[in-house]
């Protein structure tokens, strides 16, 4: 067992932990980043599968993501546009397939009116609540104690409108059924992306990709940190000293020791840069305060299968199709052209979310592949049935993540615990995309949190004389 002494020990080498480490190291503090996996990047992971470069985890960049774009510039990484020429496809609840252009699904005039009205209500609530402190909204408690599913049905009796609006947040973002999280959680999701309208606009939210893959953000940061990143080193115990305060936020200065499978790091501060559902994988000595014990049991990851299918050519483009398809009622509820930069092959990416993912995982791998490809073929034609490469990103099976894309609170949890979610406990700070305001659940939020956490520790270190 190696022993190290550093100013700050960071647990987790995803984009948040590595950003925090790099920001701290730039100012002259010493750091060690301990990572459980044998690679950096966490929920971003670019890999070659059967000869095809695939984004197994996070990949898209939207125009408002200024922290991510700044980081890409700093690291010398380029972006390219997602292919979006041609018609999109919508499959309605009765199975009717319709080609369309623009943002609005080809639904009846009445349903379109209801969808536009619901978008307006959600835009207003998102603007009022903002992403920083949604629990301070005057209606926070009422919105947090009703499921998004039931809230939508209080607003509108048009079932197709409710399902389509639900899709953007439930299957599309939180990857939980709309009955499993609150309307306030949906408002936070919208506010964190600038507005609900932005979430509905796939040309905004899924605008660009990183040439060569998103994982390079973490890889390039790790290169800069060199030997200060220790892989295959899951942290099992954090021994800390100091007064935690009632809800955290007590005395910060008495130090912490992180014990992993390969190394022990003695430091003044620790950054837990892992998703909240994994906090309890670490033993804290002494235990965390009651508030954290309770809060962490109310934050859970969603579930989505990200499906990759690679073809000799992007055959749908010849049909005048963009590759984009939506259907709240299909197994694959969203599909997009995900062809790599300057690649002659065509790649599609589809998403199977929450209860539909449960159903797919009950099938054999062969039956699951067939069912999923048939669903994609429903949007783009029978050529979709025979890809050269087929791969399912299965983050639910990853020990060091356990789901996708990120965590959200259960019903009532956001207004109850949100105000304390970032409060440090003695020397222990929390940093991940799951706790972000702007860029919540996204690489943007991970980077912002890493920057904020580094700033907070630097402030403390200067007042406490590090």
Residues 256-295 that bind ligand FAD (CB under 6 A): 273-275, 278, 281-282
CA distance 55 to 114: 36
Minimum CB–partner distance for residue 107 and ligand FAD (Å) = 26
Among 149, 220, 268, 306, interactor with ligand FAD by CB under 6 A: 306
| 201, two tokens | 């606009």
Looking at the Cβ atoms of 182 and 218, the one nearer to ligand FAD is: 218
Q: Does 187 bind ligand FAD (CB under 6 A)?
A: no
Minimum CB–partner distance for residue 376 and ligand FAD (Å) = 17
Among 6, 9, 16, 429, interactor with ligand FAD by CB under 6 A: 16
x-or-dash string of contact with ligand FAD, 373-402, rule CB under 6 A:
--------------------x-x----xx-
Q: Does 442 bind ligand FAD (CB under 6 A)?
A: yes
Among 234, 248, 302, 350, interactor with ligand FAD by CB under 6 A: 234
Instruction: Name the strand (E) or helix (H) holding 453.
Output: helix 443-464
SS3 label, residue 95: coil
CA distance 40 to 18: 9
Minimum CB–partner distance for residue 200 and ligand FAD (Å) = 16
| 329, two tokens | 């009622």
Residues 101-120 that bind ligand FAD (CB under 6 A): none
Q: Does 332 bind ligand FAD (CB under 6 A)?
A: no
Q: Which of 157, 98, 154, 179 is nearest to 166 (CA)?
A: 179
x-or-dash string of contact with ligand FAD, 58-97, rule CB under 6 A:
xxx-------------------------------------
Three-class SS of 226-261:
HHHEECCCCEEEEEECCCCCECECCCCCCCEEEEEC
Among 6, 14, 195, 288, interactor with ligand FAD by CB under 6 A: 14
Which span sits near ligand FAD by CB under 6 A: 130-138, 181-189, 329-337, 439-447?
Answer: 439-447
Minimum CB–partner distance for residue 367 and ligand FAD (Å) = 22
Looking at the Cβ atoms of 134 and 234, the one nearer to ligand FAD is: 234
Residues 31-50 that bind ligand FAD (CB under 6 A): 34-37, 42-44
Looking at the Cβ atoms of 107 and 272, the one nearer to ligand FAD is: 272
Minimum CB–partner distance for residue 10 and ligand FAD (Å) = 9
Compute, in degrees rounded to 10, the torsion defined by CA atoms 154, 112, 169, 362: 100
Which span sits near ligand FAD by CB under 6 A: 14-22, 123-131, 178-186, 376-384?
Answer: 14-22
SS3 label, residue 310: strand
Q: Is the dihedral of CA 11, 17, 18, 23 positive or negative?
A: negative
Number of shown-chain residues binding ligand FAD (CB under 6 A) = 41
Q: How far is CA 377 from CA 148, 236, 237, 315, 330, in A?
A: 30, 46, 49, 12, 11
x-or-dash string of contact with ligand FAD, 401-430, rule CB under 6 A:
x--xxx------------------------
CB-CB contact of 401 with 302 (8 Å): no
Q: Alpha carbon 140 to chain centroid distance? A: 23
Minimum CB–partner distance for residue 159 and ligand FAD (Å) = 29
Q: Which of 98, 127, 124 is nearest to 111 (CA)?
A: 98
* Exposure on the CB side of residue 395, measured as CA atoms within 13 A: 27
Q: Which of 39, 28, 23, 26 is nearest to 6 (CA)?
A: 28
Q: Does 443 bind ligand FAD (CB under 6 A)?
A: yes
CA distance 246 to 249: 8
Tokens 């049991």 label which residue? 297
Looking at the Cβ atoms of 11 and 256, the one nearer to ligand FAD is: 11
Q: Which residues does 242 contact at the CB level (< 8 Å), separation at least 6?
A: 250, 251, 252, 253, 254, 255, 426, 427
Which span sits near ligand FAD by CB under 6 A: 107-115, 287-295, 330-338, 442-450?
Answer: 442-450
List interacting residues with ligand FAD (CB under 6 A).
11-17, 34-37, 42-44, 57-60, 234-235, 273-275, 278, 281-282, 306, 393, 395, 400-401, 404-406, 432-433, 441-444, 446
């Amino acid at each position: 067992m190696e022993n190290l002494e550093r100013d700050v020990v960071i647990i987790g080498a995803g984009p948040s932990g590595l950003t925090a480490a790099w920001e701290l190291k730039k100012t002259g503090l010493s750091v060690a980043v301990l990572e459980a996996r044998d690679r950096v990047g966490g929920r971003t992971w670019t890999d070659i599968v059967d000869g095809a470069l695939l984004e197994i985890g996070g990949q898209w960049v939207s125009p408002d993501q200024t922290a991510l774009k700044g980081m890409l510039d700093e690291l010398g990484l380029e972006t390219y546009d997602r292919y979006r020429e041609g018609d999109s496809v919508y499959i309605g609840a009765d199975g009717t397939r319709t080609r369309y252009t623009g943002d609005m699904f080809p639904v009846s005039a009445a349903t379109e009116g209801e969808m536009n009205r619901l978008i307006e209500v959600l835009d207003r609530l998102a603007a009022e609540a903002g992403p920083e402190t949604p629990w301070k909204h005057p209606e926070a408690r009422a919105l947090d104690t009703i499921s998004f599913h039931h809230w939508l049905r209080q607003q509108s009796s048009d079932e197709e409108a409710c399902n389509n609006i639900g899709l953007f947040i439930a299957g599309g973002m939180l990857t939980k059924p709309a009955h499993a999280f609150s309307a306030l959680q949906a408002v936070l999701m919208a506010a964190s992306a600038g507005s609900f309208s932005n979430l509905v606009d796939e040309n905004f939210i899924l605008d660009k990709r990183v040439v060569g893959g998103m994982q390079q953000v973490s890889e390039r940061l790790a290169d800069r940190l060199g030997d200060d990143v220790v892989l295959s080193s899951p942290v099992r115990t954090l021994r800390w000293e100091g007064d935690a305060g009632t809800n955290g936020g007590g005395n910060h200065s008495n130090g912490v020791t992180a014990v992993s499978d390969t190394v022990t790091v003695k430091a003044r501060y620790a950054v837990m840069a892992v998703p909240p559902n994994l906090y309890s994988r670490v033993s804290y000595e002494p235990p965390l305060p009651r508030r954290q014990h309770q809060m962490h049991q109310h934050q859970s990851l969603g579930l989505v299968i990200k499906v990759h299918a690679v073809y000799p050519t992007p055959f749908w483009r010849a049909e005048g199709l963009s590759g984009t398809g939506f259907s709240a009622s299909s197994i694959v509820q969203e599909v997009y052209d995900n062809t790599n930069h300057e690649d002659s092959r065509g790649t599609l990416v589809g998403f199977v979310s929450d209860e539909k993912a449960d159903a797919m995982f009950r099938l054999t791998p062969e039956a699951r592949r067939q069912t999923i490809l048939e669903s994609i073929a429903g949007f783009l034609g029978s050529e979709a049935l025979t890809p050269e490469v087929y791969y399912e990103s299965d983050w639910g099976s990853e020990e060091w993540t356990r789901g996708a894309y990120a965590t959200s609170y259960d019903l009532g949890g956001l207004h109850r615990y949100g105000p304390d979610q970032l409060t440090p406990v003695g020397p222990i700070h929390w940093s991940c995309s799951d706790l972000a305001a702007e860029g919540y659940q996204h690489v943007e939020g991970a980077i912002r949190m890493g920057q904020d956490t580094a700033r907070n520790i630097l402030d403390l270190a200067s007042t406490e004389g590090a």
